Amino acid sequence: MIRKNAVESILAERDILISARNPFVVRFFYSFTCRENLYLVMEYLNGGDLYSLLRGLGCLGEDMARTYIAELVLALEYLHSLNVIHRDLKPDNLLISRDGHIKLTDFGLSKVGLINSTDDLSGPDVSSALVGDNQPTDAEQRAHKRQQRQKQTAVGTPDYLAPEILLGMSHGPTADWWSVGVILFEILVGIPPFNAEHPQIIFDNIMNREIPWPQVPQELSSEAYDLIDKLLIENPVQRLGATGAGETMNMIQVTLPVVMRGVLLMSKSLRPPMSTMTEVRLVA
């Protein structure tokens, strides 16, 4: 059961969920009201969300990242076909089902416009680089990224918003594709590409496209770099996905053919993240 205070927001979310029938969008059952509150009842997804998974692990390998992004693309392709723009894509809104697949949720901003999303924002402290004679192991890198993420707040960050939204300009589905690029970068690197301590710095980083790219191909594959780079184009007309979801799907199918075939066939081979999250809780 989900409780919201903004009536217009929850009504917009309800209207979208009523018509949504997709394996990668959270399932809506019914809504009801009491004297002071309005409630939505949706399916229970016990795998947590992508934000919590990243908070525990720091980052994910490219195989799992590609699978999650492929599923997100399929969800967006469906929503955009219904003329729905999500506008608030972020790891918090990607829930994980028991069988390991993601489901998109939280459509509160999809039809009621933007609200102030920069309150109570605090970013990670500036951390010194790992030093030493030897290269840090994967476990050390994962622990370092987990520490960075734990300094972040999950609420009220403009990290994922497209430039046209930040500028208050009219926007279309390509605003969602920008957010996909930010999420993919965060999954692979451990923090959002434009993250900073203050909202104004994040805004400046987005508008100036200040991206701390990892080394390619040592730390990030050229395929992942190319995909993120095309999703994070400032001009929405030139951004990957501007001509429709099929453009993005085609690029992912070229760079990630095995993963996409598995997703399109609703493969259940993805390891359920719940087992991973249980391990994280035990060592936290």
Residues known to be catalytic = 88
| Nearest Cα to Cα of residue 266 among 85, 114, 74 | 74
How many of the other CB atoms lie within 10 Å of CB of 88? 20
Please tell me the distance from the alpha carbon of residue 134 to that of residue 132, in angstroms, as a whole number. 5
Quick check: helix, strand or coil at residue 121? coil
Residue type at 20 in one-letter notation: A
Quick check: helix, strand or coil at residue 239? coil
Q: What DSSP state is assigned to residue 42? A: E
Yes or no: say if 183 and 160 are a contact pair by the CB < 8 Å rule: yes
| Nearest Cα to Cα of residue 219 among 124, 136, 143 | 136
Yes or no: say if 53 and 273 are a contact pair by the CB < 8 Å rule: yes
| Nearest Cα to Cα of residue 181 among 113, 114, 110, 242 | 242
Q: Which two tokens stand for residue 11?
A: 């009504």
